[in-house]
Amino acid sequence: MNTLFDFTLALGDDALIAAQRLGEWTSRAPEMEEDVALANIALDQLGAARLLLTYAGELEGAGRDEDALAYLRDDREFRNCLLVELPNGDFAVTMAKLFFLAAYQLPLYTALAGCADERLAAIGAKARKESAYHLDHAALWVKRLGDGTEESHRRMQAAVDQVWPYTHELLTADPAAPVDPATLRADFDATVSAVLDEATLTRPETRWTPGGGRDGVHTEHLSYLLAEMQVLHRAHPGARW
């Protein structure tokens, strides 16, 4: 990543794709309270995505608004991290994804709130409050599942093992960015270790470190996600909704 536009777009894409996946849970959650919570978090992510994409469009100066950026780019132009595009899997996989994402977004948005760019600082200040709630919610579920029944422990550990490699991409150094993700490492590690310990889960070793999302090189999952998300918008070029 090299420009402010790339950076802003990448964060907006993270939030947008996370919202899309969380939205898939609607009416499918294990309990009604969780339906409310997941929709709530999806809405927060979508709200952050709209602010970031709108700003990215302005930075680019090519007349693209949030909808042009969300609906009219192909997967090779999306800049989200791979973590958020992974399928929801079972509830443990969803919670592992949300936990790692929030453990990254909270220090990221907190740092952003203090950055020199006023717009990003304002977005960071708003989004960090929401991230704190997401982190709290996901961490509690990681603990409940990790230290719940034998089956839930097994599933939660499997979810952590499955998702863990994708956290590497979140913290890849980018010294030119308004907030260098590498500087978030200590905060991320501290949060993750404390919660996994309490959840009686083990932290996998980092061997395989998939990446490429920031360069538009995604998993095979993203283009299906986009096909669904964009289908109606693309079917009616130029229409207002």
Can you spell out the DSSP letters for 69-119? HHHS--GGG----HHHHS---SHHHHHHHHHHHHHHHHHHHHHHHTSS-HH
Nearer to another protein, 17 or 112 (CB): 17
How far apart CA 101 and CA 99 sit, in angstroms, is 5
Nearer to another protein, 155 or 169 (CB): 155
**Rounded to the nearest whole angstrom, what is the least distance from the CB of residue 120 to another protein in the complex?**
19
- Judged on CB neighbours under 10 Å (0-12, 13-18, 19+), 9 is buried
Q: Tell me how far apart the 2 most distant CA atoms of the chain are, in Å.
A: 54
**Rounded to the nearest whole angstrom, what is the least distance from the CB of residue 209 to another protein in the complex?**
30
Nearer to another protein, 207 or 236 (CB): 236
**Rounded to the nearest whole angstrom, what is the least distance from the CB of residue 34 to another protein in the complex?**
8
Joined together, the tokens standing for residue 189 give 């590690």
Nearer to another protein, 168 or 233 (CB): 233
Can you spell out the DSSP letters for 46-59? HHHHHHHHHHHHHH
Find out whether 181 and 170 touch, Cβ atoms under 8 Å. Answer: yes
**Rounded to the nearest whole angstrom, what is the least distance from the CB of residue 83 to another protein in the complex?**
19
**Rounded to the nearest whole angstrom, what is the least distance from the CB of residue 125 to another protein in the complex?**
20
Nearer to another protein, 61 or 237 (CB): 237
Residues of this chain that bind another protein (CB under 8 A) = 16, 19-20, 23-24, 26-36, 39-40, 42-43, 46-47, 49-50, 53, 66-67, 70-71, 90-91, 143-145, 147-149, 151-152, 155, 228-229, 231-233, 236, 238-241
**Rounded to the nearest whole angstrom, what is the least distance from the CB of residue 135 to another protein in the complex?**
18
How far apart CA 66 and CA 47 sit, in angstroms, is 11
How far apart CA 142 and CA 220 sit, in angstroms, is 27
